[in-house]
Amino acid sequence: MITAETIYQKAKLLDAFALQEVADFLDFVVSKHGIHKLQDEKRKYFPMTAIESPDQKPSFSNQVLSIEEMDVAIEYEASKAK
């Protein structure tokens, strides 16, 4: 396993341009790690779901719904996610 001391010793041998490239790369790695961590955190509350096929026909394609019927449908869909 590599230690911070080993990295420090190797970094002392690099010129300023190479150090800047290493710093940029480390920023990239840290940002990617942070994004994955954030995505994992969001998945606790919003689990991944399957994407519906664009060919799939909508459930209410030819029906006109009242506000009350829409509310019932929304409550039903929300209860499936719980």
- The tens place of each residue's pLDDT in the chain, 82 residues long, gives 888 888 888 888 988 898 899 888 888 887 877 777 777 777 777 777 777 777 777 666 677 788 998 899 888 888 887 6
Q: How far is it, in rounded angstroms, from Cα 76 to Cα 53?
A: 21
Instruction: Please report the DSSP string for 20-33 in residue order.
Output: HHHHHHHHHHHHHH
pLDDT at 67: 92
- CA-only gyration radius of the chain, Å: 25
Q: How far is it, in rounded angstroms, from Cα 58 to Cα 32?
A: 37
